Structure 1
């Protein structure tokens, strides 16, 4: 029976308009399962890639079984043969997709099932305009941030694909049945299907609409859900074809040749003929709901046997592709023929390096089920800590017997344990003591240097940047320091240099920090150093652009995206873009609350500052309260920011005197910690709040720290202390020219008041 559920012409035109728009890179189609997103994407792609347009159309599909594998969805479309940093891998993947002689139209089905690197690759293609895209996603529930960012960042036009209305339901059924239907029949079909074309198809093909003497009628049996209808359909699929679906349930997609070797040519042909799978060299189920229902029905023993067979088949041909290797490792872990502990551990380390934490955890646990090897324990601990599961990570590391370890092994174990204690468990004193004790037990210079590098990071976070600079400097000068130690030391030294006013050192230190191969979030520490320096130099537009690049960086999964958004908000507050800052900091603070990192308290401090400057008294007080409750030794570096949060919260409630007191507290806290640049930054806020005594500290600090913001602050403070309306007006103009619009507005208001007094 013919079945044609053609998309509405108006919706097709919206998709093609998005593809042709210079403002966006294409469209994202959002809608429930079975509503027709794939058909709409296919029709729009065919129309866009007309014969007169040199366009290569490529399709990728996200699946649950490929989701845990780096670049799993892109399969044979890209070649990534070496494990490297995610940023380098993404560049290589993007280059392998692009054809310089033609445009690329990439259709991405079920983007909510993409692994993080595949999803990030799609995001980067949209961001850079390297390809036109049509992306489909399922119902908007628990979507990955990198997927929702496709439309929230205005890279793709979001188009909601709606079910059929009553008239559309009638037209589709009459077309399929070849006869007019009575209104009662259409209404009943509509009640059951809610206008879902996939439901209607299975309702008709499953005999749910029958011919009677009075015409076509819906059967009077139980009203099944869509899942129930699909279960009925699957129960009628030939047994051999069902076997094909079983294999796809554990490993979708599979090359047709491999699937044929596993299930037989006849089985694959029957599966294609019955409409259970799609035709092609790479075999997918005809609809993802088929696999979802098949997987739900698989017994664990049956699933394990299927994994074992798939592993045996795929192992016959070795691949140099990273995604193929890790996919095989993941399948092996679920089979009766697990690989060697060494191979599984190596695969876990590769997955960790790529940021695929779920896969890394699964593989590490598989290795540890058979052997208590340190390498697998370390991978598992890192994956747990980076997922915010600090207690579990601590338990894994506590199970290690340290007296049996070599110097290298002891260092490799001590680093994550100390870091986990400091940040995730909020036990900074214990972590520092543990690090010192461990250092006394190692003799290798490289190991000591790496432990010292982490000690420098602890000292920085604990609010002693000058001590951190001394320790980090020794590490960076040591010829035996390894890349891990250099990464930790250089990132800490970069941020400490920025906050103490040693701006000339920042870029070189930041470059050393990001040159290493150490995974994690060190790039944001050095990035904050560069952003801080640019703000102090009065280069706010450049600072905002740089900060934005960190949110667009390789790994958009949390907490990286949230930290990048903190950097953007930091600049936005200085620019007076409070709406943007609040919009970024609210979700970022929520995401960072689960991590234990000092970025979490900082995000709340900045949120309170932004809300206070908006005059939102109640919300600013709430954010301040949350910041105070999370602040401690591990975030002591940001004590000045907490005091400024108090200042602006008090200003929002109209308590000018108390606000000035809090701003002075911020200046004093910064000076006590040697953070001269941050003291100047706090003095600017003090002057804005009306502190006529800010000039004295500003004069002294400007001798020590030479920067645009310092000079502007000093001019503002001098004019305020003198009550000189003309000088205040000049200061306001200079602040505005530098992009410091809130300070400019406050100086202008002070100039007007001084003029009125005269």
Structure 2
């Protein structure tokens, strides 16, 4: 557990670009770094001072101005000056200049003044005169939210003696980079977004927040990924800093912030009604709040999120209750205008003495479910349950707990129900969350399917049977029975008795089933129909996977990415939605070639879903192993693959082909090409047998990229049954590889590149280069190799068999290549022999021959050669 964090200077590439541009000018004299407190001005000034001090002849004077010395002549410079009493200010200034610059080469002197807004008039005038009458250089830091600096200070940049550079908060990416450098590991994307939202990019606030979160273990490392869970709290130093600022606000502005501490944002009209127009205006004038336009109304937010956080922590129980009651009354009096108003009204009412009626809270809970806010669902459902225990209060609560991965708690909520006393309709309502929780979160998939079938046999109502069938179709889909799942879902969709929930589940199942079966045409209509219903919000991601898969089959990577980013926007920072949305985006990024970005997202998604039963978790691990394999990292790919195999089961059987592809690329990273091609073929076979022809076509693409020369013989059996654009291109690609047709390989490479599928383009071009070389066509070889190098670089230089052979071959056989990789991973000859079922002497012989071919002295040299990349590959046997 980390207890003391070592904070570094915040990354500021844009700011440093400005500073360096100023310092590169021969006539430059200095900079004024201006911005609000805590944004890192002093840290930048210290870095500039350190740069200056690198010259042994340099002289640096550091001046720290303070409010307490702002009325004392030369108060800030008192530790540097020796002045005799003088009657006139002019004489004092002359004496001060002489004292400061005595025995110093002015051209090598740097004066740094921190918090220059607090300089007394004489000190400010001294600086101004020094800049006019000497050759010194100057760095100033000033707060722009702490009064007006002396005229002589502002004149420094107005007279162009120094260059003004405004320093704002960190950007989101800079915030994440800083925190990850301090923690020594990656942040979960939702955690990064949350820390940025709370700190608003202020480095000082961020430091206090992270330190406190680590101390309280709200921020902790899980499998190497840092996650923020639960409520953040303010440390005492941070609360004191913020309180000092708040104490300067007028009473009316503070009162406005009290209401925003309970609920933000608030409409201007609501705040005016509650606090008065003058108070709202005071708050805006004092810089305590920000007024923005949203839709057709004006909304008020705290100027900084931590202002409200600080005030909220200080409010007493009775004050919170009074403000919540007033807010509820205000929203109710004017009438909730949209769903966010209704949800805020419901949640706020729980803080009052008169919460909403149970049916109103439950209505709000289901609306929150549709929006994917599972924590709010839990809060509202618990409120309803405390008011009156009932099945219909327990249902949304069980749903929310299950989808948060808290399967045992969800089951306990439902276990309190005596199902023998339930009506037929209530029995259906009970079995849906019960069976879903068993299937996914509790790992009792077969038992869940049997339970659903048993309850269906007791139900005579057609509508009840429809919704049970819709869930059963989803179970069948996840179990890999894709064709049966689609047939069941289609029966529900044409049923006259099917209600919204049944339509939603069936539409999501049908959309994903059609996409994976290679039938993308019906997917858009099915997706639209499902999204029109009022389902649990997480169904949006099932629909999203169907949409992205369909778009990829059409070769439309841009459309696939737009769909994935739409799901990401819907998820926001809420888990598990954010982790699932990141997986969706990663599937597209892998096809596009953004392998590093995809890998980072998949690592954190897999960790976020570790303690849940979502089938998305195993999928994240499978995709991660594929990415690591394509990047040539066998050891990491093998470790992730092992985790994927451990968690694979009935609830994720649909992704059996993806698991085989993970194995294929893991073998490829070890340079075991026959095993890689065999696993890729197994992926195609598994997909075809389960009716997932679209997935089979995508797996076929990987097989051809790996160099499978036989793929062309059976590719038409799969691609010939699909009407989408990409399968036809894959079939042409397979035939071109089998025929050794370099021109056709170049053409298909260009087509892949035009659609944005750069990894496939790079491999096809590399294979074309090798065929040109074999035919003795030097111009063709160079042309194709240059294209492969360009597309490979755009993907972050993946390490695939074709690219290795074409771009930087090494004269090793397939077996020698595999042994060399294992040596680079640190395995001994004995361990390699055991893994490859060889004798130690055989391994030693391969090592000796490899060293001789490469001209290296020993195993260390061989490992270094392999780690440098570029191992050649023998062509896969036909």
TM-score after normalising by structure 2: 0.57
Shift of 1:484: 1.7
Q: What's 1:59 paired with?
A: none
Corresponding position: 1:327 with 2:344: yes
Corresponding position: 1:630 with 2:647: yes
Q: What's 2:870 paired with?
A: none
Corresponding position: 1:614 with 2:508: no
- Deviation string for 1:212-267 (max 9, x for gaps)? xxxxxxxxxxxx9453466689899999998887666545677899889989999x
Q: Distance in 1 between matches of 2:562 and 2:277?
A: 56
Mean Cα deviation higher: 416-425 or 404-413: 404-413
Shift of 1:275: 7.6
1:532-551 aligned at under 5 Å gives the runs 532-551=549-568
1:731 pairs, out of 741, 745, 769, with: 745
Q: Distance in 2 between matches of 1:672 and 1:332?
A: 55
Taking structure 1 as reference, are residues 261 and 622 closer, same or farther at Cα in structure 2, changes over 3 Å only? Answer: same
1:306-385 aligned at under 5 Å gives the runs 307-308=324-325, 311=328, 318-385=335-402
Shift of 1:682: 2.2
Q: Distance in 1 between matches of 2:326 and 2:562?
A: 51
Taking structure 1 as reference, are residues 171 and 632 closer, same or farther at Cα in structure 2, changes over 3 Å only? Answer: same
Corresponding position: 1:461 with 2:484: no
1:682 pairs, out of 686, 699, 705, with: 699
- Deviation string for 1:33-61 (max 9, x for gaps)? x9727xxxxxxxxxxxxxxxxxxxxxxxx
Asked if 2 retains the 8 angstrom alpha-carbon contact of 1:275 and 1:286, the reply is no
Asked if 1 retains the 8 angstrom alpha-carbon contact of 2:663 and 2:676, the reply is yes
Corresponding position: 1:705 with 2:722: yes
Q: Distance in 2 between matches of 1:428 and 1:646?
A: 25
Taking structure 1 as reference, are residues 276 and 307 closer, same or farther at Cα in structure 2, changes over 3 Å only? Answer: farther
Asked if 2 retains the 8 angstrom alpha-carbon contact of 1:348 and 1:376, the reply is no
Corresponding position: 1:181 with 2:181: no
Corresponding position: 1:640 with 2:657: yes
1:36-55 aligned at under 5 Å gives the runs 36=36
Shift of 1:572: 3.7
Shift of 1:611: 1.9
Q: Distance in 2 between matches of 1:250 and 1:449?
A: 43
Q: What's 1:660 paired with?
A: 677
Asked if 2 retains the 8 angstrom alpha-carbon contact of 1:253 and 1:282, the reply is yes
Q: What's 1:744 paired with?
A: 764
Shift of 1:498: 2.4
Taking structure 1 as reference, are residues 278 and 737 closer, same or farther at Cα in structure 2, changes over 3 Å only? Answer: closer
Mean Cα deviation higher: 544-553 or 505-514: 544-553
Shift of 1:504: 3.8
Shift of 1:277: 7.1
1:97-496 aligned at under 5 Å gives the runs 170=64, 173=67, 177=71, 180-183=74-77, 225=237, 227-228=239-240, 249-250=261-262, 291-300=308-317, 303-304=320-321, 307-308=324-325, 311=328, 318-496=335-513
Q: Distance in 2 between matches of 1:334 and 1:439?
A: 41
- Deviation string for 1:550-580 (max 9, x for gaps)? 4445756444444444344334433444334
Taking structure 1 as reference, are residues 434 and 329 closer, same or farther at Cα in structure 2, changes over 3 Å only? Answer: same
Taking structure 1 as reference, are residues 181 and 627 closer, same or farther at Cα in structure 2, changes over 3 Å only? Answer: same
Asked if 2 retains the 8 angstrom alpha-carbon contact of 1:575 and 1:742, the reply is no
Shift of 1:735: 4.0
Asked if 1 retains the 8 angstrom alpha-carbon contact of 2:66 and 2:76, the reply is no
- Deviation string for 1:151-206 (max 9, x for gaps)? xxxxxxxx97777959998567389648542447999998xx9x9969989xxxxx
Taking structure 1 as reference, are residues 689 and 162 closer, same or farther at Cα in structure 2, changes over 3 Å only? Answer: same
Asked if 2 retains the 8 angstrom alpha-carbon contact of 1:663 and 1:683, the reply is yes
* Higher Rg of the two aligned structures: 2
Asked if 2 retains the 8 angstrom alpha-carbon contact of 1:164 and 1:197, the reply is no
Shift of 1:446: 1.0
Asked if 2 retains the 8 angstrom alpha-carbon contact of 1:588 and 1:603, the reply is yes
Taking structure 1 as reference, are residues 295 and 700 closer, same or farther at Cα in structure 2, changes over 3 Å only? Answer: closer
Q: Distance in 2 between matches of 1:650 and 1:495?
A: 29
Taking structure 1 as reference, are residues 732 and 199 closer, same or farther at Cα in structure 2, changes over 3 Å only? Answer: closer
1:524 pairs, out of 532, 535, 541, with: 541
Provide the secondary structure at the position in 2 that maps to 1:704: coil
Taking structure 1 as reference, are residues 259 and 459 closer, same or farther at Cα in structure 2, changes over 3 Å only? Answer: closer
Shift of 1:546: 4.3
Q: Distance in 1 between matches of 2:497 and 2:675?
A: 52
Asked if 2 retains the 8 angstrom alpha-carbon contact of 1:702 and 1:710, the reply is yes
Q: Distance in 2 between matches of 1:607 and 1:269?
A: 51
Provide the secondary structure at the position in 2 that maps to 1:426: coil
Mean Cα deviation higher: 583-592 or 391-400: 583-592
Q: Distance in 1 between matches of 2:40 and 2:660?
A: 45
Taking structure 1 as reference, are residues 314 and 612 closer, same or farther at Cα in structure 2, changes over 3 Å only? Answer: closer
Q: Distance in 2 between matches of 1:709 and 1:243?
A: 61
Corresponding position: 1:673 with 2:690: yes
Shift of 1:644: 0.9
Asked if 2 retains the 8 angstrom alpha-carbon contact of 1:663 and 1:682, the reply is yes
Q: How much is the aligned-residue C-alpha RMSD, in angstroms?
A: 4.7
Shift of 1:685: 2.3
Q: Distance in 1 between matches of 2:592 and 2:305?
A: 47
Asked if 1 retains the 8 angstrom alpha-carbon contact of 2:252 and 2:280, the reply is no
Q: Distance in 2 between matches of 1:680 and 1:241?
A: 63
Taking structure 1 as reference, are residues 489 and 306 closer, same or farther at Cα in structure 2, changes over 3 Å only? Answer: closer
Provide the secondary structure at the position in 2 that maps to 1:443: coil
5+ unaligned residues in a row in structure 2: which ranges? Answer: 1-13, 19-32, 47-60, 81-111, 119-140, 148-235, 292-297, 754-759, 777-873
Provide the secondary structure at the position in 1 that maps to 2:613: coil
TM-score after normalising by structure 1: 0.65
Asked if 2 retains the 8 angstrom alpha-carbon contact of 1:164 and 1:196, the reply is no
Asked if 1 retains the 8 angstrom alpha-carbon contact of 2:371 and 2:537, the reply is no
Shift of 1:310: 5.6
1:539-618 aligned at under 5 Å gives the runs 539-553=556-570, 555=572, 557-618=574-635
Q: Distance in 1 between matches of 2:143 and 2:693?
A: 66
5+ unaligned residues in a row in structure 1: which ranges? Answer: 1-9, 15-30, 38-138, 140-158, 202-223
Taking structure 1 as reference, are residues 730 and 450 closer, same or farther at Cα in structure 2, changes over 3 Å only? Answer: same
Taking structure 1 as reference, are residues 748 and 552 closer, same or farther at Cα in structure 2, changes over 3 Å only? Answer: farther
Q: Distance in 2 between matches of 1:718 and 1:252?
A: 61
Shift of 1:680: 2.9
- Deviation string for 1:466-522 (max 9, x for gaps)? 111221121122111112212211221222222223344334333333332323233
Provide the secondary structure at the position in 2 that maps to 1:492: helix
Shift of 1:654: 0.8
